[in-house]
């Protein structure tokens, strides 16, 4: 037996605001392996997330296969568009959804983790967040502000994560992010600079793996997940079509589950993957290997 054992490890998973996406699935898989979990949640979504937890609306989703339930050690407000609180415009900082949250910047969350758990509180950091305000626009029609905003939140924030959180990591630490094949190939309908952001995220993963490996002794990887109809992905507008197309044209004609990504993440964040860094790991039923569309699945094909 070769178990994934993360007992005694602490993970910070950024980008969890409900139970429907990859971030939640990764948090749950890490907890199944024994890790304690802290999450970072976008301040405008935080009140709803906290209410769902308090009222038991997510109780079923929180149940662990090994018994018990996933319980978050801390839920921190995090807006990855800002490195420090000084970077936040006054109108944002004083708005109703932000003003009572304290320091929600990347540096602010780093400081809170240290205050709560000591100078080296983390073993695992997961970047499971992205935002492109113009994602429904073709790239050619995307504004400069929309493009730079997508790259800032969806890619540069991972650079900031590694820089800020790197010094808080214990020996053998691991960073993990989530990318998508649009960073390598044209995906019509996935616009607004998001394809550029994913390409940057993958390139940065390779460079950060070298730099953070030498500076902090940690690993940096990314998972290229197939399309998944989470609540957040609904903003794309064509997510259901993307899911169908990939299912019908992948070597494995099956529905991609969030748990597939969670399980791969648990492996990559474990000592079993101690020699894996700078990698883009595909969890997409093999879709990335295809060079042309397949014939339609037959009636005998699995659902």
Quote the CA–CA distance of 178 and 201 in Å, as a whole number. 9
- Number of domains the chain is built from: 1
Contact indicator for 94, 140 with CB cutoff of 8 Å: no
Annotated catalytic residue 147: no
Q: Domain range for residue 66?
A: 10-289
What's the pLDDT score for residue 145?
97
Is 133 among the domain residues? yes
Which residues fall within 8 angstroms of residue 232, CB to CB, at 6 or more apart?
Answer: 17, 20, 21, 130
Is 302 among the domain residues? no
What's the pLDDT score for residue 299?
54
Catalytic residue chosen out of the listed positions 82, 156, 190, 287: 190
What's the pLDDT score for residue 165?
98
The pLDDT of 196-204, averaged and rounded, is 98
Q: CA triplet 52, 58, 63: central angle to 5 degrees?
A: 150
In which residue are the tokens 């691991």 written? 174
**In what order do the strands lie in the sheet containing 219-225?**
72-77, 36-41, 10-14, 122-127, 169-179, 219-225, 280-283
Annotated catalytic residue 76: no
Contact indicator for 236, 242 with CB cutoff of 8 Å: yes
Is 99 among the domain residues? yes
Is 298 among the domain residues? no
What's the pLDDT score for residue 151?
98
300 confidence band (pLDDT: 50, 70, 90): low
Average pLDDT of every residue of the chain: 93
Query: What CATH number has the domain bearing residue 163?
Result: 3.40.50.720
Is 169 among the domain residues? yes
pLDDT at residue 303 above 90?
Answer: no
Is 214 among the domain residues? yes
What's the pLDDT score for residue 301?
56
Contact indicator for 157, 104 with CB cutoff of 8 Å: no
Provide, rounded to the nearest whole percent, the portion of the chain with pLDDT above 90. 85
Adjacent-strand bridge partners of 225: 283
pLDDT at residue 241 above 80?
Answer: yes
What pLDDT digit, counting tens, does each position of 91-134 carry? 999 999 999 999 999 999 999 999 999 999 999 999 999 999 99
Is 16 among the domain residues? yes
Quote the CA–CA distance of 42 and 23 in Å, as a whole number. 13
Catalytic residue chosen out of the listed positions 180, 228, 282, 287: 180
Is 129 among the domain residues? yes
């Amino acid at each position: 037996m070769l178990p994934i054992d993360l007992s005694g490890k602490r993970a910070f998973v950024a980008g969890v605001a409900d139970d429907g996406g990859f971030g939640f699935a990764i948090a749950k898989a890490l907890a199944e392996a024994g890790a304690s979990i802290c999450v970072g949640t976008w301040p405008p979504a935080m009140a709803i997330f906290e209410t769902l937890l308090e009222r038991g609306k997510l109780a079923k989703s929180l149940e662990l296969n090994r018994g018990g339930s996933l319980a978050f050690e801390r839920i921190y407000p995090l807006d990855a568009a800002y490195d420090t609180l000084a970077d936040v415009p006054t109108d944002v900082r004083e708005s109703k959804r932000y003003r009572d949250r304290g320091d929600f910047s990347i540096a602010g969350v780093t400081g809170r983790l240290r205050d709560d758990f000591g100078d080296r509180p983390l073993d695992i950091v997961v970047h499971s967040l992205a935002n492109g305000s113009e994602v429904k626009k073709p790239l050619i029609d995307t504004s400069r502000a929309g493009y730079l905003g997508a790259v800032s939140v969806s890619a540069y924030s991972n650079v900031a994560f590694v820089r800020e959180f790197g010094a808080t990591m214990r020996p053998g630490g691991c960073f993990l992010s989530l990318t998508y094949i649009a960073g390598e190939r044209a995906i019509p309908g996935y616009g607004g600079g998001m394809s550029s952001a994913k390409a940057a995220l993958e390139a940065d993963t390779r460079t950060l793996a070298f730099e953070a490996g030498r500076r902090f002794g940690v690993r940096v990887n990314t998972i290229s997940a197939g399309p998944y109809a989470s609540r957040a992905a609904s903003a794309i507008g064509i997510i259901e079509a993307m899911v169908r197309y990939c299912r019908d044209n992948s070597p494995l004609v099956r529905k991609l589950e969030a748990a597939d990504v969670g399980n791969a993440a648990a492996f990559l964040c474990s000592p079993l993957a101690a020699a894996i860094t700078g990698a883009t790991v595909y969890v997409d039923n093999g879709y990335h290997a295809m060079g042309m569309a397949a014939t339609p699945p037959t009636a005998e094909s699995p659902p």
